[in-house]
Amino acid sequence: MVLALSLRYYLYFHVGEMDASAGEDGPDDGVCLEGVNADSLGQFDDKRMDDSEALIGGTRMFQRIKFFVLSIVSILIGMKVTLKNLFSPAVTLQYPREKQPMKENFRGMVDLVPEKCVICYMCIKICPVAALDLAHKQTVEADKKKLAITKFTFNGELCCFCGLCEEICPTDAIYLNKMYEVAAFTHEEINNIDLMDKEKYKQLENNQPK
């Protein structure tokens, strides 16, 4: 009931405000409601006008509070993701000062433990891009024949990091390490890496950003 009365007085108040009499040359440029009889709308006595103004003031105050609360709620909903992440631990790293630890199954550069290699050539045969090159020689020590690697190189430009050489190796001699920052200034530095050299990736690591 109060709400209905409020709406009625609210409508009257605005209609009265917007009503403007037409001049001799036609209606004013301002807002004008033709056909509305302002006299018929202004039949309220002073007491009712006071009550209506109080109601209008209360309604307006209520609406302003409502809009304010809704605005705050709307902003909070919009900022939900921001607020959620504001107090969460950062997931970004200050690279290159901080490094991302690689997952267990990450495949980096091909590496070798020469002592474990039995020169079976299985990695050479399975490599789909011929990125590995192996050569050996036979030696005789104490009347025993032995095989020795004379060349085991890796072409980092050809390798597609499929991991097949690692999978097929019967002694786990060849594997893919966790390096992901290898950089070179010339092709020669990276397409003919000597896997027998323990320091093979040292220079390439030095080319990383500091």
Residues that bind ligand SF4 (CB under 6 A): 110, 117-123, 126-129, 131-132, 134, 159-165, 168-171, 173-174
Write down the least CB distance from residue 183 to ligand SF4, Å. 18
Write down the least CB distance from residue 176 to ligand SF4, Å. 6
Write down the least CB distance from residue 86 to ligand SF4, Å. 43
Q: Tell me how far apart the alpha carbons of residues 66 and 60 are, in angstroms, rounded to a whole number.
A: 10
Write down the least CB distance from residue 186 to ligand SF4, Å. 20
Write down the least CB distance from residue 157 to ligand SF4, Å. 11
Measured from the CB atom, the residue of 55 and 107 that comes closer to ligand SF4 is 107
Measured from the CB atom, the residue of 55 and 193 that comes closer to ligand SF4 is 193
Measured from the CB atom, the residue of 55 and 131 that comes closer to ligand SF4 is 131
Measured from the CB atom, the residue of 55 and 182 that comes closer to ligand SF4 is 182
Measured from the CB atom, the residue of 59 and 177 that comes closer to ligand SF4 is 177
